[in-house]
Amino acid sequence: MILIAEYKTKQQKRKFYDSKPWKLLREDIKKRDNYECQECKRNGDVSVDTNEYSESAKRKKIMLVVDHIKELEDYPELALDPDNLETKCVTCHNKKHGRYVDYSLWRKKPKWDDEWW
Ligand SMILES: [Zn+2]
Ligand SMILES: [Zn+2]
């Protein structure tokens, strides 16, 4: 169990995202969501790849993050609540958080993303 009551600073968040319960839960959520972006799915955008081991499926998995629907910072008590978690692709995730990432630049200069891992 994680006993930190708030996740305000980058350090506190990093500690959370680095914790074992989160890492385990994150994988559960991705499995629950079929390794699909739920946002794209809502928009009718997702092409479901049933072959988990195909190249495209692998690529998709790499690009997925598990998002806190209600922000960790504002709702620390929901940090590990599966109902508050959703699988999203990086594009949708960035949109939600208003981040516009230049990926070509990003690759050269990796920047820490809260829910990236
Ligand atoms: Zn998406
Ligand atoms: Zn998020």
pLDDT tens across 10-62, in order?
999 999 999 999 999 999 999 999 988 999 999 887 655 566 666 665 665 56
89 SS3 class: strand
Q: Which comes out higher in pLDDT, residue 88 or 106?
A: 88
Ligand 2 mean position to 51 CA, how many Å? Answer: 27
Q: Is the pLDDT of residue 108 over 90?
A: no
DSSP string, 31-70: HHTTT--HHHHHTT-------TTSHHHHHHHHTEEEEESS
Distance CA 87, CA 106 (A): 22
| Structure confidence at residue 104 (pLDDT) | 52
Of the listed ligands, the closest to the CA of 67 is 2
Of the listed ligands, the closest to the CA of 90 is 1
Give the residue among 44, 31, 14 at the shortest CA–CA distance from 87. 31
Ligand 2 mean position to 47 CA, how many Å? Answer: 22
CB 114 within 8 A of CB 17: yes
- Ion ligand 2 nearby residues (CB, 5 A): 67, 115
Of the listed ligands, the closest to the CA of 91 is 1
- Mention every residue, 6+ apart, whose C-beta is less than 8 A from residue 56: 49
Ligand 1 mean position to 109 CA, how many Å? Answer: 23
Of the listed ligands, the closest to the CA of 45 is 1
| Structure confidence at residue 110 (pLDDT) | 47
Bridge partners (DSSP) of residue 85 are: 68
Of the listed ligands, the closest to the CA of 43 is 1
